Structure formats: C-alpha cells, structure tokens
Amino acid sequence: MRGKIIETKINNKVKAFCYPAGSYNEKVVEIIGITDYKIAFTTQQGLCQTPLEKSELYKIPRLSIGGKNKIEINFEIGKLLFNK
C-alpha cells in the first residue's frame, strides 16, 4: 500500500523495490516478482552481468554494481525503470 501513497505524491509509478534492511528470502523474491515492481535491490555486495536474467532482476546488489559492464548494466536498469 505504501507504494500507492508514494505514487500519488510523486504522480509517477513506483517501479523499484528495496528490501527493508536488505532482508529477503526466495519466497519474498517470488512475491515481488508477481507485483508491478520491475526490479528489487538487496544490500549484498556483488556484480551484475548483462544481459540481466529475470531471476536476477529482483536481487540487484545495491552497494556494488560494477565490473567492465557498469555502463551497460545501468542502462539496462534505466530502461526497466523509465519505460512506461
């Protein structure tokens, strides 16, 4: 419900989710996957590689997105968030 409150205040759709305190498990990932969220961020350290697979879209490392494909990864995430 909080997402709807934020959407009303910013007059835009919320497409990303951050797990509270970075805490999640596979059941939570499954639930987020059937919502309107396009991606979800963890607090785990790690690297993403392109192309991003659907199972990875709900476990994006928040603190360390990098590697040689950093620009490509940020572009892929941007496409998910800004395509209406």
Element at 18 (helix H, strand E)? strand 16-18
Helix (H, G, I), strand (E, B) or coil at 80: helix
Check residues 68 and 40 and name the one with the higher pLDDT: 40
- pLDDT > 90: percent of the chain: 11
Answering whether pTM is above 0.75, one says: no
CA dihedral for 71, 19, 32, 54, sign (positive or negative): positive
Considering the four listed CATH numbers 3.90.650.10, 3.90.550.10, 3.40.50.720, 3.20.20.370, the one that applies to the domain covering 2-82 is 3.20.20.370
pLDDT tens digits, one per residue of 47-83: 777 787 877 889 988 654 456 677 777 777 778 777 6
pLDDT class of 40 with cuts at 50, 70, 90: very high
What number of other Cβ atoms are within 10 A of residue 25's Cβ? 8
With 90 as the cut, is the pLDDT of residue 27 above it? yes
- One-letter amino acid for residue 67 of the chain: G
